[in-house]
Chain A
Amino acid sequence: MLDSSSFLNLQRVLSLKLNPDRDVDRIHGNGINTIDIEAVEGRYMLSGGADGVIVIYDLENYSRKLQYTCKAVCTVGRSSRYVHKFSVETVQWYPYDTGMFVSSSFDKTMKVWDTETLKPAEVFEFEGNVYSHHLSPIARKHSLIAVGTTDPKIQLCDLKSGSRIHVLQGHRAEILSVRWSPRYDHILATASADSKVKVWDVRRASGSLFTLDQHNGDKSKASSEAVNTAHNGRVNGLCFTGDGLYLLTTGTDDRMRLWNSATGENTLVNYGKVCNESRKRLQFTVSRGCSPEFVFVPCGSSVAVYALHTGELVTMLRGHYNNVDCCEFHPDYQELYTGGKDCNILAWVPAPRAPDVEEESKSANQAAADQSSVNPAFQDAWSSDED
């Protein structure tokens, strides 16, 4: 289904460029490991750094100028009593309002923060480093946080009561990434260093629903040890598509695979070699709101953009000075924010086009986002050469 807004969004995504006019305040003194943009207004962004610092930015432009910096609104800095002792690996806003956010770190704790006071309302302690946590973006009936640590058992903690409700057993090595489905609030996907990805229904007491098999049950394809594995190496990245119908996984075998999330079938889309040297979770993201969709994967110091269903490498976004560790897509404006070891968060914004005389239609999306596109500086005021 190709409606005008998704088509225009597609064009915007294809023209993503590093925007020299949009800056993000540079607060972190060390690499940035994780970023998250809140889903309610799309206005505030959280970032967690390798030094344990957490920063909140306001992405809105109030300066009326083309060039603006996204200011940091508040920071949980090294001087705070409650700051994480080691690097923050995952941050996530509470899905329903910006009054709360959750962060987890290599100091083996997960903290639930009150945004107003910047004090933790709840602290969960674990036995090992916390690689990843995730709250379901759509859950109404529960407020479970899935946590992946060095322990092969996945913990489900309850946000409201502060207790640990459930443990999911099945993996044999550390859990590198956990992700709730954006379609069903009871479906959870987990990726582990044991090369397996399991999909769980948390309402059931028994084990996982299914384990992803890269060969789709065809035992003849690989050696016998590779049975039921999603990758030929550690699986360190998980991402559902916006509609929850597909799941993407990345592994240290330098491959990315697209799975049907309902059946667990490998769609066999071939992305080629997707460089993956991460020893922790790889934070990659999928575009939302355009057709066809794109996957943005950090690859060394650039970000590789692949077409979701054909596997074609569309382009490489270069701009960071050092490794890119995380990227997040802003669905309302089709913008990409990336953070890396060079302590910068870069904004990739669709390049503005000089408006054609013929072009009349602008969807609501574009109108809202076009703060930068009709700038007189970009309009072609010279007469044409062909005249």
Chain B
Amino acid sequence: MNRKRALISDAFKVKRFRNETQKFGAVSKGDGPTDIRSTLETLMTLFPRKLFNDSLPQIVMKHQLYSIHNDKTLVDKELNKLREQGELLMFQLGFDADAFGLVFASDYKAKVLAGEDGRATRATVEKFLEKLPSACTELSFSKDKMLKEFRFTDSEITQLVKSGVLTVRDAGSWWLSIPNSGKFTKYFIQGRKAVLNMVKKSKYSEVLKTELEERRTTSHVKFQMKYHIHDIVGAELVESIPTTSGTLLRFVDS
């Protein structure tokens, strides 16, 4: 009687015990290098370009990818590969030690140059952008590096800070940054707080993901709901629980 079931070797399945390793409703795509890129592009489309009058390149947070792909280590590795190839830039946005923003290098260069049109600092910024591909894996630059490796003068560094491409980190070192991204950070944090509150105030502090996506957003939430949901799930600010009615998001008290 057991012969029929044992024909396919179930040596790799521990499925007799239907425990929590079964996932329903979770979107977990195959993890190949192209898949991370396509996930990035999908997430980029969620970014609201009109809100900033198209002056900002599309920004995606690194942890938003964790909400789509299960294997965080693999995501990290693939992102590092893309950065080394010079296609992707990573930024330390400043509000969280772990929150990194990702922008396609071509996008970044295009927007920065467009923003620098007609400004006195344009030449210096162009020079800096040309040096970027070689420095694609750095998040910050120290004074030493700027002066010796890149051969910028002090006044040129000041110009770069003025234009917003560099932000002061501490005495003698600068973060790589996106010009005019202050508004982005402000709206992002505001929206994140508002969405988290929506989850927290729901009954039992939990809400189905599909339901949350359909809720009316207050004026505090300027980005698309999906953008914020990927953010809070990836940053583990809410617990993502698979249920028979879809994914449930439960507020994590910490």
- A residues engaging B (CB < 8 A)? 7, 11, 14-15, 17, 219-224, 226, 232, 254, 268-273, 275, 309-312, 314-316, 351, 353-354, 356-359, 380, 382-384, 386-387
B21, A315: Cβ atoms closer than 8 Å = yes
In whole angstroms, what is the CA distance A366 to B134 when docked?
A: 55
A224, B21: Cβ atoms closer than 8 Å = no
A387, B76: Cβ atoms closer than 8 Å = no
A357, B72: Cβ atoms closer than 8 Å = no
Report, as a range, how many residues of chain B touch the other chain: 20 to 34
Question: Which residues 51-75 of B sit at the A interface, judged by CB distance below 8 A?
Answer: 66, 70-75
B139, A310: Cβ atoms closer than 8 Å = no
A274 closest partner in B (C-beta): B236
A221, B14: Cβ atoms closer than 8 Å = no
A267 closest partner in B (C-beta): B73
In whole angstroms, what is the CA distance A108 to B236 when docked?
A: 38
- Interface-forming stretch among B2-10, B33-41, B81-89? B2-10
B236, A273: Cβ atoms closer than 8 Å = yes
In whole angstroms, what is the CA distance A384 to B7 when docked?
A: 14
Given contacts A315-B20, A353-B16, A380-B1, contact A271 B97 (CB under 8 A): no
State how many angstroms separate the Cβ of B97 from the closest Cβ of chain A: 6
B173, A224: Cβ atoms closer than 8 Å = yes
State how many angstroms separate the Cβ of B153 from the closest Cβ of chain A: 21
Most buried by A among B16, B19, B74, B75: B19
A310, B74: Cβ atoms closer than 8 Å = yes
State how many angstroms separate the Cβ of B75 from the closest Cβ of chain A: 8
Report which of B4, B139, B254 forms a contact with A220, defined as CB distance below 8 A: B139
B20, A316: Cβ atoms closer than 8 Å = yes
The verdict on B188 contacting chain A, using a C-beta distance below 8 Å, is no
Residue-wise, chain B 1-33 has the 8 Å CB interface mask toward A (1 for contact) of 111111000010010110111000000000000
Question: A380 — which chain B residues lie within 8 A by C-beta?
Answer: 1-2
- B residues engaging A (CB < 8 A)? 1-6, 11, 14, 16-17, 19-21, 66, 70-77, 92, 97, 138-142, 169-170, 173, 236, 254
Report which of B14, B20, B72, B141 forms a contact with A271, defined as CB distance below 8 A: B72
Question: A11 — which chain B residues lie within 8 A by C-beta?
Answer: 11, 14
A351, B17: Cβ atoms closer than 8 Å = yes
Given contacts A219-B142, A380-B1, contact A314 B21 (CB under 8 A): yes
Report which of B73, B173, B254 forms a contact with A268, defined as CB distance below 8 A: B73
A220, B20: Cβ atoms closer than 8 Å = no
Given contacts A14-B14, A221-B139, A380-B2, contact A312 B70 (CB under 8 A): yes
Report which of A15, A353, A359, A384 forms a contact with B4, defined as CB distance below 8 A: A384
B72 closest partner in A (C-beta): A270
Question: B141 — which chain A residues lie within 8 A by C-beta?
Answer: 220
A222, B17: Cβ atoms closer than 8 Å = no
In whole angstroms, what is the CA distance A383 to B5 when docked?
A: 13
The 3 closest A-B pairs by CB, nearest first: A270-B72, A384-B1, A273-B236
B1, A383: Cβ atoms closer than 8 Å = yes
A310, B17: Cβ atoms closer than 8 Å = no
State how many angstroms separate the Cβ of A132 from the closest Cβ of chain B: 25
Question: B73 — which chain A residues lie within 8 A by C-beta?
Answer: 268-270, 309-311
Question: B16 — which chain A residues lie within 8 A by C-beta?
Answer: 353
Most buried by A among B14, B71, B77, B92: B14
In whole angstroms, what is the CA distance A380 to B173 when docked?
A: 70
A386, B4: Cβ atoms closer than 8 Å = yes
Given contacts A11-B14, A232-B97, A270-B72, contact A384 B139 (CB under 8 A): no
State how many angstroms separate the Cβ of B119 from the closest Cβ of chain A: 27
Question: B142 — which chain A residues lie within 8 A by C-beta?
Answer: 219-220
Report which of B21, B75, B170 forms a contact with A223, defined as CB distance below 8 A: B170
Question: A14 — which chain B residues lie within 8 A by C-beta?
Answer: 14, 21
In whole angstroms, what is the CA distance A226 to B170 when docked?
A: 13
Question: A220 — which chain B residues lie within 8 A by C-beta?
Answer: 138-142
Q: List 14 A-B contacts (CB under 8 A).
A: A17-B19, A220-B142, A223-B170, A224-B169, A226-B97, A272-B66, A272-B236, A311-B71, A311-B73, A314-B21, A315-B19, A384-B1, A386-B4, A387-B1
B80 closest partner in A (C-beta): A268
B70 closest partner in A (C-beta): A312
State how many angstroms separate the Cβ of A298 from the closest Cβ of chain B: 16
State how many angstroms separate the Cβ of A262 from the closest Cβ of chain B: 20
In whole angstroms, what is the CA distance A224 to B142 when docked?
A: 11
A224, B170: Cβ atoms closer than 8 Å = yes
A223, B71: Cβ atoms closer than 8 Å = no
Knowing that A312-B72, A315-B21, A380-B2 touch, tell me 18 more A-B residue pairs with CB under 8 angstroms: A11-B11, A15-B14, A17-B17, A17-B19, A220-B139, A220-B142, A222-B97, A223-B169, A254-B254, A269-B73, A272-B236, A354-B2, A356-B2, A357-B2, A357-B6, A359-B6, A380-B1, A383-B1
